[in-house]
Amino acid sequence: MTEVLLDWRDSDRTETVSVPDGETILDAAAAADIGLPFGCRTGACGTCTARLLSGDVVHHRPPRALKDRHLADGYVLLCIAEPRTDAHLAVGATVQAELVPNPWK
């Protein structure tokens, strides 16, 4: 079991969730009554995107919603991500805004 610190960059909120081996971060958060956004649960939509700040996380299947440059920058999909070590992740609306910048700005 690993510990994952979830850090909402758009507020002062943080939560720590214990993730059993073989379970995704999204499922462990839900079991701990921590609400995180999600859509497809298959790695296709990107609604559950977070950014890895420290630790090691692997995807159970190819993260189709992320391009290679997103993976290189540390973005992960919580619906298919399992931590291999204790980890620290940024979550929330600012992470989504980093991933898909507003082209009208």
Please give the residue that has the higher pLDDT: either 90 or 10: 90
**pLDDT in the model for residue 96:** 84
What percent of the chain is predicted at pLDDT more than 70?
Answer: 97
- Read off the pLDDT of residues 27-77 as tens digits, 9 standing for 90 and up: 999 999 999 999 999 999 999 999 999 999 999 999 999 999 999 999 999
CATH of 2-87, one of 3.40.50.720, 3.30.450.40, 3.10.20.30, 3.40.50.1470: 3.10.20.30
What's the average model confidence in pLDDT over 81-100? 92
What is the CB neighbour count within 10 angstroms for residue 24? 22
For the chain, the domains span 2-87
Q: Which residues on neighbouring strands pair with residue 91, listed in sequence order?
A: 8
